A and B are shown apart, each in its own frame.
Chain A
Amino acid sequence: DAKTTQPTSMDCAEGRAANLPCNHSTISGNEYVYWYRQIHSQGPQYIIHGLKNNETNEMASLIITEDRKSSTLILPHATLRDTAVYYCTRPTGTASKLTFGTGTRLQVTL
């Protein structure tokens, strides 16, 4: 069963960069890594995805190691509204299903 591993929780001061790691050591060469976040009890929200090159969008940056066994989601200037659970996931099995673990609970503080 393909899995990703993330720390349970992290803290970050407002205005600082939040770096959220994810381990996906068994990822295949053509599998993307996806990041989502869930604020309070809302539905998860897509953030970004990548294959092997670093990616950036208006929400975050994604750094993927050269061996593709791990990645880091970077929120460059975290705000209180970024407090959420962040999920790193990858497609698995037939139909490339996305499964979600328990993610990393990021707490942004003043």
Chain B
Amino acid sequence: NAGVTQTPKFQVLKTGQSMTLQCAQDMNHEYMSWYRQDPGMGLRLIHYSVGAGITDQGEVPNGYNVSRSTTEDFPLRLLSAAPSQTSVYFCASSRKGTSGGTRGELFFGEGSRLTVL
């Protein structure tokens, strides 16, 4: 059971380049989300999804796009990378709770470390 898999683990981009961080889970979780973690800032929610075809913004969505075409995958796209997007990105998934969102027991991937020069 692989859990939540993120690729790539490391990436260096130049300003203005685009890329996609991949996230896949094999637990049939309805809820998926992306966080970024910067030194001294904790984890900040970028985007989340409560099911295939449904996405919404978190705390810091600007500069990022997401889509959810399948239950398993939730890619995060940077359309034009900026140095401010240098960070560690975590994908997380969970079962859906009674309120329609996360049930709260999030499973996290190992992170993707992105540097934008």
- A-side residues, CB < 8 A to B, are 32, 34, 36, 41-46, 49, 87, 91, 94-103
Contacts and interface: CB of A to CB of B under 8 A. Distances in A.
Interface in B60-117: 88, 90, 92, 97, 99-102, 104-111
Contacts of B40: 102
Nearest to A32: B104
Q: Which among A43, A44, A46, A97 has the greatest number of chain B C-beta atoms within 10 A?
A: A43
Given A91-B104, A101-B42, A43 B99 contact: no
Contact of B90 (A34, A43, A91): A43
Given A91-B102, A95-B50, A97-B102, A43 B111 contact: yes
Given A43-B108, A43-B111, A96 B97 contact: yes
Nearest to A49: B104
B43 A42 contact: no
A52 to B, nearest CB: 15
A43 B37 CA distance: 10
Contacts of B48: 95, 97
Contact of A97 (B88, B90, B101, B109): B101
A94 B105 contact: no
Contacts of A43: 4, 90, 92, 108-111
A97 B43 CA distance: 12
B105 A46 contact: yes
Contacts of B13: none
Contacts of A101: 42
A38 to B, nearest CB: 8
A96 B108 contact: no
Given A34-B104, A44-B106, A102-B40, 20 more contacts: A34-B105, A36-B106, A43-B4, A43-B90, A43-B108, A43-B109, A46-B107, A91-B99, A94-B56, A94-B100, A94-B101, A95-B31, A95-B50, A96-B99, A96-B101, A97-B101, A97-B102, A98-B102, A100-B35, A100-B44
26 contacts: A34-B104, A41-B88, A42-B111, A43-B4, A43-B92, A43-B108, A44-B108, A49-B104, A91-B97, A91-B102, A95-B31, A95-B50, A95-B99, A95-B100, A95-B101, A96-B99, A96-B102, A97-B58, A98-B45, A98-B104, A98-B106, A99-B43, A99-B44, A100-B42, A100-B43, A101-B42
